Amino acid sequence: MYSLLIVDDEPFVFQGLEKLIAWDEYGITLCPPCYNAPDAIEYLENHPVDILLTDIQMPELSGIGLLRYIKKQGYATRCLVLSGYDDFEYVKAAAILGIENYFLKPVNAEELSSTLVSIVKSIQKEKQEQQLHHHFLQENFLHAWLNNSIDPFQIEEKAEIAELNIHALSFCAVIFDFRHQNSPDINRRISALISRRLEEHRLGFCIAQNDACLTLILLGYGHVVDEAETARIAERLNYDAMTECGAGALVCIGSVETSQALLYRSFWHAQKLHRCAMLLSARPLLFSYDEIFTNSRHYFSTGLLQELRLNIILQKQEQIVNLVKAAFPPNGTYITSLLQNSFLFFLSALFSELDPFQPPSAMFEELQENGQFFEINTVQDMVGAIGRAVSMLRQKPESTVQDSNDYVSYLIDYVRQHFAEPISLKLIGNAISVSPSYLGQLFLNAIGMPFSVYLNEFRIQYAQNLLRNTNMKIVDIGVAVGFNTTNYFTTIFRKFTDLTPTEYKLKYQSDVNVKS
């Protein structure tokens, strides 16, 4: 319903207009009448009004004065004028102030009805356009946030512009894939249902990646929503989709992050997990990145992991298979989900290490196009699938990869040796005669994050080590890890850890005292 305020110093005018037409048929509700302009101004300051119908000649302040006030305040109120005099000067003054129509008393019901129909249609169109613009603004922000396309220092500012509350303690990206339903109508219903649930329970936001994939951004507003709680939320949403829409989705949960600047990492983890999960011929409905990596690290020791990654890079198929066999002896007892999770863990490492300069989606498509769907029920299934995956992907020409690998290795080594110095891709690119943008793209495809993020993350991790193990001053630590001002060091440190360096040091000391 739209609100309409009548302003006239003669009470009988309101009484007559109230009975002149059936206002509710036009979707209009009459506000309490105002009998002078000052009262109308007070009402407008406290109540949004869609349409104003005002007399011209009134004591204290004229209708023209009221119109000037509305224009000065920038109210979106549509204004109509009525008068007992057919005075051209009044009409001219009112027209300059942007009125919709000018009525002579007594008001003609047909003319008023026609004007109201036109105004209501105009308001509806304007509000639809505003809603559409607002929706696009929010979608653009969420896309950019997920893909790390926003400067970390501007995330909160841009979220505020988009009218999105992202002041949370935890952040997690979750992919819902319902492409196997092959029904656009069901997909739309699932999408609408999940969006409603997120809004109703204040869980976060939802954005469509394509016709068959949604990405949820689950936020922990009052507390950190850990991996277990995130999985329960995702399971509940999927259960609602199955019971209310008759179909569920493949759900892939990214890592739980405690900094809004690291949401992109959760999204990348969810994407990588999703692409790997799609290669399983039979799969459960839900995978969790944190659960997979926690469980797999139980079987793959740190030393074994390093050896596995080295052999993946060197494309040593036999050694890789032997390492997997060592981690999972054939006489052991394993549940199917553990084997599937471990295979996804391996595929993730394979995508990151074997051909880091080809985007994971391209590698996934290559395996899929060659009919490589893996059924994992036993250790033998997993070992055989790993061997086939390595064999498939090691047959590509290596010359371009080797050249690219040299550049990325050089960048990583350079950061480790010179992180305390000013570093930029432009500086490095000029030194080795390679385009900075080309270096940046190679690094992004290989490591899964922009070079600047990797550099800052490396510096912050080193700073954390110094805070834990030395008595260095904060200002000296900042300089030691490459930040030229303490303020900038503190800002970046907080973006990655949600703590200032001082808070981090105090928290670490407190934790140590509790344990001892």
Tell me the per-residue pLDDT of 207-258, one tens digit each, with 9 for 90 and over: 987 777 889 999 999 898 998 899 999 999 989 988 888 777 889 999 899 8
Would you say 314 and 393 are in contact if contact means Cβ atoms under 8 Å apart?
A: no
Predicted confidence band at 314 (pLDDT cuts at 50, 70, 90)? low
In sequence order, the β-bridge partners of residue 82 are: 55, 103
- Among the listed ranges 74-83, 128-137, 259-268, 402-411, which one has the minimum average pLDDT value? 402-411
**Across 185-321, where does the E strand assignment appear?**
204-210, 213-220, 250-253, 286-288
AA identity, residue 428: I
Give me the pLDDT at residue 404, please: 59
Contact 257, 244 (CB under 8 A): no
What's the pLDDT at 298? 65
- Identify which has the larger pLDDT, 306 or 232: 232
- DSSP label of 370: T
Chain centroid to CA 186: how far? 24
To the nearest whole number, what is the mean pLDDT of the chain?
82
The string of DSSP codes covering 286-316 is EEEHHHHHHHHHHHS-HHHHHHHHHHHHHT-
Q: State the Cα–Cα distance between residues 79 and 100, nearest whole angstrom.
A: 6
- Which has more confidence, 362 or 340? 340
Interval 35-66: pLDDT, tens: 999 999 999 999 999 999 999 889 889 999 99
Residue located via tokens 């290669």: 279
Tell me the pLDDT band of 442, cut-offs 50, 70 and 90: confident
pLDDT at 86 over 50: yes
pLDDT at 141: 94
Instruction: Quickly state the pLDDT bin for 513 (edges 50, 70, 90).
Output: low
Beta carbons of 97 and 68 less than 8 angstroms apart: yes
The predicted structure's pLDDT at residue 172: 95
Please report, rounded to a whole number, the percentage of residues in the chain having pLDDT higher than 90: 35
Q: What is the pTM of this model?
A: 0.58
Instruction: Identify whether 284 is preceded by a cis peptide bond (ω within 30 of 0).
Output: no
Residue 492: per-residue pLDDT? 93
Higher pLDDT: 408 or 398? It is 408
Most trustworthy range by pLDDT among 83-97, 296-310, 376-390: 376-390
Taking residues 138-152, what's their average pLDDT? 88
Calculate mean pLDDT across residues 328-337.
Answer: 77
Pair 34, 4: CB distance under 8 Å: no
Q: What is the pLDDT of residue 40?
A: 97
Average of per-residue pLDDT across 123-144: 89
The pLDDT of residue 275: 79
Q: Domain 400-515: what homologous superfamily?
A: Homeodomain-like (1.10.10.60)
Average pLDDT over residues 451-479: 88
Bridge partners, 172 (sequence order): 218
Taking the C-alpha atoms of residue 257 and residue 146, their distance in angstroms, rounded to an integer, is 12
Question: Residue 271: its pLDDT value, please?
Answer: 85
pLDDT at residue 354, as a whole number: 43
Residue 283 pLDDT grade (very low, low, confident, very high; cuts 50, 70, 90): low
Who wins on pLDDT, 124 or 406?
124
Mean pLDDT, residues 353-382: 60
Strand partners, 280: 374
326 vs 89, residue with greater confidence: 326
Joined tokens for residue 322: 């032997």
Once rounded to an integer, what is the mean pLDDT over residues 484-507? 91
Highest mean pLDDT among 108-117, 264-273, 400-409: 108-117
pLDDT band at 402 (very low <50, low <70, confident <90, very high): very low
Give mean pLDDT, residues 435-456: 87
Q: Are 354 and 315 in contact (CB under 8 A)?
A: yes
CA nearest to 426, candidates 434, 418, 436: 436
CA distance 391 to 393: 6
Asked whether the beta carbons of 389 and 372 are under 8 A apart, the reply is yes
In degrees, to the nearest 5, what angle opens at C-alpha 478 toward C-alphas 475 and 481?
A: 150
- Summarised one tens digit per residue, pLDDT across range 371-394 is 556 778 888 888 888 777 777 655
| The two three-digit tokens of residue 191, written as one number | 């999408």
Q: Is the pLDDT of residue 352 over 60?
A: no
What integer pLDDT is reported at residue 249 of this predicted model?
Answer: 82
Domain layout of the chain by residue ranges: 2-125, 289-396, 400-515
* pLDDT above 70: percentage of residues in the chain: 84
CATH of range 2-125; options 3.40.50.150, 3.40.50.2300, 1.10.260.40, 3.20.20.70: 3.40.50.2300
pLDDT of 375 reads 79
Higher-confidence position of 278 and 118: 118
Binned at pLDDT 50, 70 and 90, residue 80 comes out as: very high
* Cα–Cα distance for residue pair 350/390, rounded to 1 Å: 8
- Mean pLDDT value across residues 409-438: 82
Question: Which positions ≥6 away from 447 have C-beta within 8 Å?
Answer: 356, 408, 412, 454
Top-confidence range, 23-37, 131-145, 451-465, 470-484 = 23-37
Task: Quote the tokens at residue 147.
Answer: 């893909």
Cβ-defined contacts of 80-87 (< 8 Å, 24+): 80/51, 80/52, 80/53, 80/54, 80/115, 81/53, 81/54, 81/55, 81/56, 82/8, 82/13, 82/53, 82/54, 82/55, 82/56, 82/107, 83/55, 83/56, 83/57, 84/57, 85/56, 85/57, 87/56
